[in-house]
Amino acid sequence: MLSLTLDRTYLVHYGLCPKQNASCDPLIGIPYHLGVPVVSSRFGTDLESLNYAIQSHLESHDVLGMFELEMNQLRKWYIQASADDAKKCIAKPMSKYFDIPQDTVFSNQQILKILNKEQRFIEEGSRYASNLPDLVLDLAKRHATPRIEIFPNQLFTNSYITRFYSKKSKG
């Protein structure tokens, strides 16, 4: 499946669902036809969808939506943690998104920026993460791939069967 998806061109054959369209999730990859998003269509298999979603996020360099979700998750962890563990519970995730040592003890001001969802702070972390493929993959794994719909009873096929469509029966 990977050889099939890697052979396609971003924003020509696949891409993210347009953010202004309510009929699909902007974090998942959808088919494009000659550069035009086909918002009412989905890929044939869940593996195709997974590959195209990840490839789209790696190509787009726009992880702001996923990064906002990640910051919301960090905020929830902070609120749910006990007072002693509160700063520790977000130190490791924060350090990877803001290029700071993992053992850093965050100041109350830094934590307040997360708790208050300060947009400039979130955009700064998003820009940093968008240039590091391992962080983009991590964000996509945590926030985009769970949104891919899987239909266990779905019937699908691939292009290899199309040659049988035009065969005429003998006899």
Domain span at residue 44?
2-61+145-154
The proportion of the chain whose per-residue pLDDT surpasses 90, expressed as a percent, equals: 46
Mean pLDDT, range 116-135, rounded to an integer: 88
95, pLDDT greater than 60: yes
The per-residue pLDDT for 106 is 67
Q: Domain count of the chain? A: 2
Same domain, 80 and 98: yes
Residue 7 belongs to some domain of the structure: yes
Confidence category of residue 108, pLDDT binned at 50, 70, 90 = low
**Hunting for tokens 């590959």 — which residue is that?**
51
Query: Considering only 38-42, 137-141, 143-147, 149-153, which range has the smallest mean pLDDT?
Result: 149-153
58, pLDDT greater than 80: yes
Same domain, 30 and 77: no
Same domain, 10 and 40: yes
Residue 91 belongs to some domain of the structure: yes
Mean pLDDT, range 78-89, rounded to an integer: 69
140, pLDDT greater than 70: yes
160, pLDDT greater than 60: no
Residue 116 belongs to some domain of the structure: yes
Residue 74 belongs to some domain of the structure: yes
**Hunting for tokens 């769970």 — which residue is that?**
146
Residue 57 belongs to some domain of the structure: yes
Nearest to 111, CA basis, from 140, 143, 155, 81:
81
116, pLDDT greater than 90: no
Residue 71 belongs to some domain of the structure: yes
The per-residue pLDDT for 163 is 53
Same domain, 79 and 45: no
Same domain, 76 and 34: no
The per-residue pLDDT for 155 is 54
164, pLDDT greater than 60: no
Same domain, 52 and 69: no
Residue 26 belongs to some domain of the structure: yes
Same domain, 68 and 10: no
Give 150 or 9, the one with higher predicted confidence. Answer: 9
For the question of whether the overall pTM of this predicted structure is more than 0.85, the answer is no
Same domain, 80 and 108: yes
Residue 140 belongs to some domain of the structure: no
CA distance 3 to 142: 24
Same domain, 42 and 7: yes
Contact 138, 128 (CB under 8 A): no
CA-CA distances (angstroms) from residue 157 to 33, 42, 43, 113?
19, 13, 11, 49
Contact 115, 108 (CB under 8 A): no
CA-CA distances (angstroms) from residue 150 to 46, 49, 54, 60, 98?
6, 9, 16, 24, 34
Q: Which two tokens stand for residue 4?
A: 């099939």
